[in-house]
Amino acid sequence: MSTAKEEVRQILEVIPDDVTLEDIQYHIYVRQQISGGLKDVEEGRVLTEQEAELRMEKWLEP
Amino acid sequence: MDRDSIARELDEIAQFIGRDSKFYAAAFVREARGAARSLKRFAERGRVVPEVADPEIRELFVSSYRLVYKNRWAKQGSCPAANPGSPFDYADRRPVSIETSALAPARQDVIELILSEIVVPHKSGSSLHLSNHMGRIIPPKDPRR
């Protein structure tokens, strides 16, 4: 399991040299969101496809 | 966090778009659903998320959002032609191959970078056909624009 510092280092390696602090913040945010999602999956905070579709149905009604 | 954070995120985005237009909210939901469903057959169509750089963690673009998913087959080479399960089918933890993990808003400059690398299945008339950009990384635009 990589540490937070390593994760940030990894991000810095793949982004262009002329980025702003705001850009870096954004990429860290993305990384955080993904970690959160993976944790949700691991801990069973998930829905079946049917449940998910049922929830979204209200947006599709005319 | 609730058990249903993924659907809630989708819901929040739809609500946000829905404040301006119910029509676009519905279009967004349809697009997100279509993208998620397409992963049942084409699990490797998404590109590897650069921030994570793990072949299992991939993403598709849905409007200006990034639909991130996990493809468990990625490390074993190619995935089976027809995967069982679905992107949302987590209740059943057997060989479910794809997991939608998070939705993060994307920005235009990031999207350009991404579209230059993604292999977009050619659909006639699709604005996503970007063969001119293939294989070339487009740097982000000047952030001071």
Residue B86: per-residue pLDDT:
39
**A17 token code pair:** 């040299």
Nearest CB to B29: which of A46, A48, A60? A60
User: CA-CA distances (angstroms) from residue A21 to A46, A60, B47, B112?
Assistant: 34, 39, 25, 20
Instruction: Tell me the percentage of chain B whose pLDDT exceeds 90.
Output: 0
B120: closest CA of chain A, how far (Å): 22
CB contact, 8 Å: B30 with chain A?
Answer: yes
**Separation of alpha carbons A25 and B41, rounded Å:** 34
Chain B environment of A8 (Cβ under 8 Å)? none
B26: closest CA of chain A, how far (Å): 5
> What three-state secondary structure class fits B105?
strand
Residue B106: per-residue pLDDT:
53
For chain B, the straight-line distance linking the first and the last C-alpha, in angstroms and rounded, comes to 37
Residue B107: per-residue pLDDT:
46
In chain B, residues 43-62 whose CB comes closer than 8 Å to chain A: 49-53, 57
- Chain B interface test: which of A46, A50, A51 (most B C-beta within 10 Å): A46
Residue A13: per-residue pLDDT:
86
Chain B environment of A52 (Cβ under 8 Å)? 6-7, 10, 88
Residue A22: per-residue pLDDT:
85
Residue B121: per-residue pLDDT:
29
Nearest CB to B29: which of A14, A18, A59? A59
**B59 token code pair:** 């993403």
Q: pLDDT averaged over chain A? A: 80
pLDDT at residue A25 greater than cutoff 80: yes
Residue A2: per-residue pLDDT:
67
pLDDT at residue A47 greater than cutoff 80: no
Residue B63: per-residue pLDDT:
74
- Residues of chain B below pLDDT 70: 1-9, 72-145
pLDDT tens column, B116-134: 333 222 222 222 222 222 2
CB B105 within 8 A of CB B61: no
Cβ distance of A10 and B53 shorter than 8 Å: yes
